[in-house]
Structure 1
Amino acid sequence: MPTTAQQTIVAVAEKPWRRSLGARGIRQGIVRWFCFAAALVSVATTFGIVTVLLTQSWPFFQHVSLASFFGGTVWKPTTSPPSFGILPLITGTLMITVGAGLVALPLGLLSAIFMSEYAPKRVRGILKPALELLAGIPTVVYGYFGLFFVTPLLRHVLPSIQSSNALSGAVVVGIMILPLVSSLCEDALAAVPRALREGAYGLGSTKMEVTTRIVVPAALSGIMASFILALSRALGETMAVTLAAGANPQLTLNPAKSIETMTAYIVNTSKGDISTTGLVFPSLFAVGATLFAITMVMNLIAQRLVKRFRQVYA
């Protein structure tokens, strides 16, 4: 049976510990609610963007049917009568996105494989910052780079190429998203456990066999996610394609011709004086809603691919 003095000593010793537990619980609660508030802001922002796009584009679709909007082949919003067929803008946007992917995806993956599997530490320390430096260049600089360097260079191969063309826009956007592909692919390759490589080497595999048959398939989910993310970035690029690809909304698959993307139309129209009483102003939100829908579909595809190819290692 403890004495009264012993009980007093135990109670005094427990009070600081209890106070410490109480303060820790309060701090954890504050951090938890702060993180919840940050997540709530992200969700609220997305909801606000969707609400603005739908409410502002609704007057447009009251006068233009969905069939003529998505099925029309002529985009001339300022003519009389106006024509709002968005297919030329969608085709131009997809030409830039696919062309940029053809440039950035293989180069980014190969550079990531080199830095992750082949490059010495010293070479990697120089090459990676130099490659990521491309991500810090303003997009308007890429636009002038395509206009005054890439297009004259392409004219030696295609003499009939126009001064503003889809091919030049695709090349500069591909160079612009190259650091994103390379960095994310390298992170995915570095996440593959070292034991898989050592096991393959122990079975007599070569460096090439380990890279192509073990490391790349194991990191496929991260690689696919980086591809979709980079293409989404190319899909929403504005200034580079506005300067390099032009502002001629025509339905064509010829990369040597001038085109106009959805983002370029929004920029070119917004920088002028627009009357809010006509259909030109709400058409900006209709085009923005279409671009948002395409981007959302690409993100959903990325999530499905990540779940499909994900591999978990102990």
Structure 2
Amino acid sequence: MKIELKNKQPIECMAISPDGKLLAVGQSDNLGHKLCLSIWDTASGKYVGGIESGYVVSVSFNRNSDTLAYSTNNNTVVIVDLKFLKFKKTIQMPGINKVCYARSKDLLLISGDVVVVMDEAYKELFSYFDYKSQPERAAENQFPSVAVSCDNDKSVIITGNEERKFFKFDILSGQQTATFPGGIERGVHMVTDETEQYLFLISLFPDTDLLWELKTMKRALTKHLNEKHRGASAVSFHPSSRFFVTGTAAGHIFLKNIKNADVVFKEWLHKKRVNALVFSKDGKQLISGDSGGKLLITDISEYIK
């Protein structure tokens, strides 16, 4: 599969649909290019369609692969019906850093200056506004808070609120159920693997990458992922949960074993900052996008045996 993007502006985010059939690519619009969200067939590499929008910050498919949500840099979340490529709903919210559909339920998590979980009708189930930081201090794509859903989408974990703690909340009741030490003052990106074994955090303050075992909230791979090493520019878990991949500001890609951090694949694939990383559904291909607008598809099947 080869994909030729029509927009040559920086790639900011990507997502693979849960059924593995579609790839969504979000880009910036520095030169007034309006087609900032494009959708591609992963089997053929053919262009499926695009949506004219502002600078796309984050993108996510719902669990049924029939709806897509994306956020722009003008504080807007847009819900798209993929069958007809038509807008279903627009949501205004301050300082959006990430949109992410739940894996097992019809929920949408929105995080940034606020953290909100919405149901299938896009009504608020949970919201968190208790910030100690000042949102105006945050640079672009470096908002005060990062969040992920967990416990089969019954809970949400939040950090990055100027306290080195994780706060866990029950989504339906809104009640805080746990606090864990070891969070960060300000986060950039946080993600869990598909089996909910691990939580990976790219931190701004401190500038580093950190990994936790999600069930115990104990640090993992501390010899390799700690405050002595600078943070990655992008991260993704392999569908098997056996590996994770990181990208750097210089364009390097590292695929590592989750058990011991052994590097199974490393290449200087990009000349610009790696902004987005996703795997194909079968895990045999790595798709990477950079700030130069370059998208690469790399066969990694021989490295994941």
Q: Indicate the TM-score class for this superposition, using the shorter chain for normalisation.
A: under 0.3
The structure that is strand-richer by fraction is: 2
When the two structures are superposed, what TM-score results if normalisation uses the length of structure 2?
Answer: 0.19
When the two structures are superposed, what TM-score results if normalisation uses the length of structure 1?
Answer: 0.19
The structure that is helix-richer by fraction is: 1
Higher relative contact order (CA 8 A, sep 6+): 1
